[in-house]
Structures are given as structure tokens and as C-alpha cells.
Amino acid sequence: MVIMVDSEFHEFYKKSVEERLRILKHAAGLTDEEIGVLRSSAIGMDVADRMIENVVGTCELPMGLGLNFMVNGKDVIVPMCLEEPSVVAAASFAAKLARPSGGFRTSSDEPIMIGQVQILGFKNAKTAKDAIIRNKKKIIAQANERDSVLVSFGGGAKDLEVREIDSEIGKMIVVHLFVDVRDAMGANAVNTMCEAISPVLEELTGGHARLKIISNLADRRLARAKATWKKEDLEKSTKGLMKGSDVINAILEAYHLAVNDHYRCATHNKGIMNGIDAVVIATGNDFRAVEAGAHAYACVSGKYKPLTRYYKDKNGDLVGEIELPIAIGTVGGATRTKPEARIALKILGVKTSKELAEIMAAVGLAQNFAALRALATEGIQRGHMSLHAKNIAVIAGAKGDEIDKVSAKMIEEKNISVSRAKELLKNR
């Protein structure tokens, strides 16, 4: 039987969370227990209700700690939030292996975001562009009038450029406003400025301003990290089963597949983002923005490329480097509204968005190295399996100590599946 669910709840957004839960319970046939799960919330329903629309619950993720990270000579504890087993362990392992050569060295650009204003309907592109450039100072001053707080911290609109774009529907002008957003991610700040300067841009060009929004390709806000993994430590990591130089060669073979094949490269970069997104989410930042920036940056050359680079140094040790845009904040957005995000920032001990972005870059590099090392040596599944087996046991209905027992048995048998877990549960 097909149950028809009505999704047109009249003025749902105006109702209290309790009223919404009552409506949802009826519409989706939820049990009291299921409503109880939605109602239980670590961040608090009132906080959640102020963050997005139509709130009926919250969705939690485990927060694990990435350990062993040494970044620019300083130890850092890294809160990571995600649902995927093995990521936290892999990052911690890679960070541990990097410690003998000093851990991660990082750097980053000033936090410059790009705001775009699209202008159409002007008579002459050159005249329009010249008028904007001539009035650059005035436009920048108008943008800065909208955010005196940002300006007081040394940020604000700093410069602009004008681009001409030929499109299927005719010529367009795009003004890029470069805004130093200091410790914010910056989207709201930049969008507000773009809207504020649109009337003057229309006046100067005789055209009309259509889009006024930030670009997520934050290529003026790059974060970088570098680390060296010594061959003797890599050999030890295989318990002597492989020579260190062989591990490095195998990692380089894996890396060069990503350089030359976008099917592999997508997975290579996904592995990087496993680590970065986990810290982005833990700190209440916008992971869609970071993802969009990362993948757009991966193809700025016109070809989709890895965000990391690997080579051997003169000792034959493995050097890894990462560079990507990381637009995140330590203020603004949900960084201060979500209580766990505030705690995550405290654990990290960071004050500025630059420090945070650099740690994220280090985590991305660690994550990628860990995946390449595992793929090049024992294969990825070994590390994944023990937590994965526990998830499978839960799916099969295991509870309490049954979870460990059933998953241990499945790992021993090398047969990890829901059907086997169900059999094991039945036979207990």
C-alpha cells in the first residue's frame, strides 16, 4: 500500500517545534520513540530553531580527536566530526608518522574573499569598465561603509577588478570586489557589500546589476601544508613487511594515477576532504563552501588535478604538500551559535581564521597520505573493517556487548555482511 504524504504544511515555519513534531508524527506515521529521537538534542531545540527553518530535530555526528598533530612546532588536538569509520584513526596515524621529521609546516594567504557583481545591459563594455576603474576608491569606500566592525579589525574591501565575459546571451561585465574578511568565512559580509555597491555600479555603467554574491572559488585565500615521511618510519609502519623505499615508490605510483586520471583523482581529493570537512563541521563552518572551493581549485588549470603533490627528497624520504582554498571562520556563521563548535575551537586553541585554515590543510594532507599509504601497502579495507563490522552488526540488530562479539567474529571469518551478522545473532 502506498501512503500518500502531504508535504504542504501550511505556515509550518511559524509553528513551535512541538507543533511541528505533532504534524510530522501524523503525516509520516512516526512512533513516539522516533519522535523522542528527533526531540533529543545536544545543541538544544531552541538553538536549532534559531539556525534554520522548519526545525523538527537535530542530527548528531560523533566528534573524535585527531591526535599526534604537530603544526609549525606546536602540538594541536584536532576535533573531527563525521560518520565514516577509520578517518580519525588514519589522520592520527599519519600525523604520528610525520612527527620524527617535525610534523607539518603550514602557511596561508591573507583572508581575501571575492565578491562578484554581474552587470548587463550597458552600451559599451570598455566605457563601462573604465568608469568603474576611475571610481574604484569611491566604490570601495561605499562597500566599507556597510561593515565598520570588519574594518575596525583591519579588514574590509581592499581592491576591485573588472572582467569582461562573452556569453551565449551577449557581453557581461563582472566586478570582483576583494574583501579582507579577517576571522570570518565572509559570505554574509561580502554579499552585503556587493549589494551595497550595485547602485553605484549601475549608475556608472548605465547597465543593471543582476547577481551580487561571493565566489566560493576563494583562490586568494589559499592554505598550504607540507610534511616529510621518512623511509625508515614507513618501513616500521609495515612491521618490516615492506622496505621503506618500496612503500614510497608505491605511494608515488598511486599519486601519479591521480595526476593522470580524473576517476582516481576524484577519490584522491575525496580522501583529502574526509579530513578537512570533519574539522570544518566540528568548528561549525560551511563545508559546502569549502568543498566547492576545493574542487573548483582542483580544476583551475582546465584539468581536474590532485590538491596534494608528492615527491622524494634528496634522502629518498617522501615529501607531501597540499594547497587549496579554505574559506572558514572563527567568528560568524554557526561558529559561535553551535556550542560544540565553540568547544572545538577552544580544543584547537586557534584564534584566527588563518591558523584554523592551516590546521585544516595539515589534516587534509595527513588524511591523503594515510589513504595512499594504506592503499599502497595493506589495502584500504583492513583499517576500515573493524568499525565497519560494528556498523554492520548494529544494522543486523545487535545491541550492547553483542555488537563487539558479532563484529569480532565476522572479522575473524573475513565475512562482514548483514546476513552473516543476522545468522550469528540468531545462533547466540
Residue 147 interacts with ligand NAD (CB under 6 A)?
yes
Residue with the shortest CB distance to ligand NAD: 332
Specify the DSSP class assigned to residue 182.
Answer: T
Dump strand ranges (E) for 190-244. 208-214, 222-229
Kindly state the cell numbers that stand for 183. 576571522
Burial class (CB within 10 angstroms; exposed 0-12, middle 13-18, buried 19+) of 219: middle
Residue 337 interacts with ligand NAD (CB under 6 A)?
no
Closest contact distance (angstroms) between CB of 212 and ligand NAD is: 11
Residue 338 interacts with ligand NAD (CB under 6 A)?
no
Kindly state the cell numbers that stand for 184. 570570518
C-alpha–C-alpha distance, residues 103 and 8, integer Å:
54
Cβ-based nearer residue to ligand NAD, 267 or 352: 352
Listed in sequence order, the DSSP H helices in 167-226 are: 187-205
* Size, binding site for ligand NAD by CB under 6 A: 24
A 10 A CB-CB count for 416 gives: 21
Q: For residues 70 and 99, is the Cβ–Cβ distance under 8 A?
A: yes
Kindly state the cell numbers that stand for 326. 579554505
Q: Residues 34, 49, 84, 161: which is the catalytic one?
A: 84
Binding residue (CB under 6 A) for ligand NAD from 214, 225, 326, 403: 214
Q: Residues 96, 270, 312, 405: which is the catalytic one?
A: 270
CA 10, 333, 220, 116 dihedral sign is positive
Question: x/- contact string, 269-308, with ligand NAD (CB under 6 A)?
Answer: -----------------x--x-------------------
CA 355, 361, 366, 367 dihedral sign is positive
The pairing of strands 156-167 and 170-180 is: antiparallel
Closest contact distance (angstroms) between CB of 351 and ligand NAD is: 9
Residue 125 interacts with ligand NAD (CB under 6 A)?
no
Q: For residues 84 and 112, is the Cβ–Cβ distance under 8 A?
A: no
C-alpha–C-alpha distance, residues 384 and 382, integer Å:
5
**Segment contacting ligand NAD (CB under 6 A): 53-61, 161-169, 188-196, 417-425?**
188-196
Residue 233 interacts with ligand NAD (CB under 6 A)?
no
Residue 227 interacts with ligand NAD (CB under 6 A)?
no
Cβ-based nearer residue to ligand NAD, 98 or 187: 187
Residues within window 155-184 making contact with ligand NAD, judged by CB under 6 A: 155, 181-184
Residue 218 interacts with ligand NAD (CB under 6 A)?
no
Q: Residues 147, 180, 277, 286: which is the catalytic one?
A: 286
Q: For residues 416 and 388, is the Cβ–Cβ distance under 8 A?
A: yes
Residue 115 interacts with ligand NAD (CB under 6 A)?
no
Kindly state the cell numbers that stand for 186. 565572509
Residue 194 interacts with ligand NAD (CB under 6 A)?
no
Footprint of ligand NAD on this chain (CB under 6 A)?
A: 147, 149-150, 153, 155, 181-189, 191, 214, 216, 286, 289, 329, 331-334
Catalytic residues, by residue number, are 84, 270, 286, 384
